[in-house]
Amino acid sequence: MNKTNNVSIHRLLQCNQKCRLKKKLARQEKKNNQNNNRTPKPTPRPTRTPRPTRAPRTQRPSRMPSKRPTPVPTTRPTRNRTPRPTRNRTIPKVVPTIGGHDKWIMKEDQLNLIFLDNLSKDSMWRDALNYSFKNWSNPHLLPSAIIMSLYPMSTNLDQDCPPLPDKIVVCDDDYGSTKWKGVNLMYLNEDTRIVASLVKFNNFYGHDMDAEEKLYTCCHELGHGIGLRHWDEDFANQDMYNCMDYTNNHANNMFPDQSNFQALRNMYKGVSRRNLKAVGTTMDKEKERLLQRDLDKYLSQSIDLNTIDLEVWKVIETSDHDEVYQRRLDNGYSIRASFLLA
């Protein structure tokens, strides 16, 4: 018994030792496994360690969060819109134009340009006139030396469309099949100084014109009345998106653009708007009377391009869409007539 007991005890001890060994081995294996599992972790840790250094960087943009993200989306759309601003930005210094512009005589470095509405009652041109005048007289775009005003004629409609010194008189009538739908007649001193200006619209053709063509025609003739020449005289080329460009696409060219106003700024070196003051006419009464007599004599005449007297009128230019004539007067003045053909 003792022997068997000893054996069993011995086996038990062996078993215990083996079990302990097994347990020890199992623990070590577990530890190793744990260590093995942990060893890959340190490798990401070093990668995590630089992250904290990035963290402050991520905090920095948080100081100006709106500045960094916003330029990215905003710059992209402006690239899509660049055609418009670049057109305006590239134009200011060199303004494309045909011929030199004509300047109104200024008084004390400023120009109070008055438009007189002598259109017929319920005229088909009145909306176009009001809209075009509003566009041309924009005080934010005009040179500071110029103030434009639009008034109705003080008297009732004058069928003769009377030219007046220092004014742009706007008229309409059924002038018949004269070939022109709009004309600007300019009375010039020394060839390039405007003294008076007439704008006429021919209702004979106006009845068949849509609102876009009327607006284009009106904006164009007022531009001549102000003193601007054509920007381009090719009807078939790309539109310049201003009404001094010749075009068949009236809807694209119904308004003045930045380049038209830049031309005016180049012509009229501005005085500060705060220094502007009411300036009356500086012309003495006798000079004004003589001038009015000339205006009545010459500018009041309506011109039919079918029968224009080429011995009196010198041809400046002709095309399928426009004709420009000039006639010199004995007193040193001259008249320029710019016709937009129907």
Residue with nearest beta carbon to Zn ion? 338
Q: Work out how close the CB of 201 gets to Zn ion at its nearest, in angstroms, rounded to a whole number.
A: 13
Mask: binding to Zn ion, 151-190, rule CB under 5 A, as x and -? ----------------------------------------
With CB under 5 A, what is the number of residues at the site for Zn ion? 1
Strands (E), 252-332: 314-318, 322-328
Closer of 19 and 316 to Zn ion (Cβ): 316
Of the candidate residues 112, 197, 259, 338, the single one contacting Zn ion (CB under 5 A): 338
CA atoms of 50 and 188, how far apart (whole Å): 80
Which region among 139-147, 148-156, 197-205, 331-339 touches Zn ion (by CB under 5 A)?
Answer: 331-339
Residue 90 or 319: the one with the smaller Cβ distance to Zn ion is 319
Report the distance separating Cα 328 and Cα 121, nearest Å: 35
- Output the smallest distance, CB 230 to Zn ion, in A: 6
Q: Do 128 and 215 contact (CB within 8 A), yes or no?
A: yes
Q: Which stretch binds Zn ion (CB under 5 A): 71-79, 94-102, 144-152, 332-340?
A: 332-340
Minimum distance from residue 87 beta carbon to Zn ion (Å): 21
Q: How far apart (Å, rounded) are the C-alpha atoms in residues 250 and 252? A: 5
Q: How far is the CB of 322 from Zn ion (least distance, A)?
A: 5
- 224/265 with CB nearer Zn ion: 224
Cβ neighbourhood burial of 211 (10 Å; 0-12, 13-18, 19+): middle
Q: Which residues bind Zn ion (CB under 5 A)?
A: 338
